[in-house]
Amino acid sequence: MNTENHLSWTFMGNIVYDTFQGSNHSAFKSDAVNVSVSFSNNVYYNPYGSSLLFGIQQTSFSEWQKTGQDNGSVIADPLFVGDVNQCDFFTIQSNSPAAKLGFTNITKLSMWTPGCSTNDVNDDNQFYHW
C-alpha cells in the first residue's frame, strides 16, 4: 500500500499527561501503515517514569523524532498549577516546558467541578485519567 498523498491529521500543541504505571506505554499507535500524520510541539509526561512509545513500531521518543515526527516536542513535567489528581489541567507555571513552546492557559469553565471521571455514564463531561 502507498502512503496517502495528503495529510490525514495533525497533532500539534498538546500536553499528554499519561498516568500509566508500568514499564512501557503507548503515547501514540496507529495500525494504519499508509496514513500520513504530523506531530509537533507537544509535551509528553508520565509521572511514574513509564517509557512512552510512539508510532507503528512503538519506538522510543528519540527514534520517533528521527522519523521527522514531534519536532520541537519534549518529554517533561508540564508543571501544572492545579491538582492533577483532580484533573485540574487548566493552568501551567510560567517556567513550564509547555510555556516555552507557546502554550497558554485555558479558562476554566464556571460549571467545572474538581474530580476525575473514568466512566461518563452519568454524562458528567469531566476530564479523564487513563
Q: Is residue 3 part of a domain?
A: no
pLDDT > 70: what percent of the chain? 80
Residues 3-24: pLDDT tens digits? 667 888 899 999 988 888 888 8
**Domain interval for residue 93:** 9-122
Total domains, the chain: 1
* Cell matching residue 124: 458528567
Query: Is the pLDDT assigned to residue 62 strictly greater than 80?
Result: yes
pLDDT at 1: 52
The answer to whether residue 93 is domain-embedded is yes
Name the pTM for this structure.
0.79
Give pLDDT, residue 4.
Answer: 66
Asked if residue 83 is part of any domain, the answer here is yes
- The answer as to whether 56 is a domain residue is yes
Distances (CA, A) of 81 to 11, 31, 65, 85: 24, 36, 29, 12
- Reported as a pLDDT band with limits 50, 70 and 90, residue 52 is very high
91 phi and psi, to 5 degrees?
-130, 135
More confident residue, 120 or 46: 46
Asked whether residue 2 is assigned to any structural domain, the reply reads: no
**pLDDT of 25-39, one tens digit each?**
888 887 767 778 899
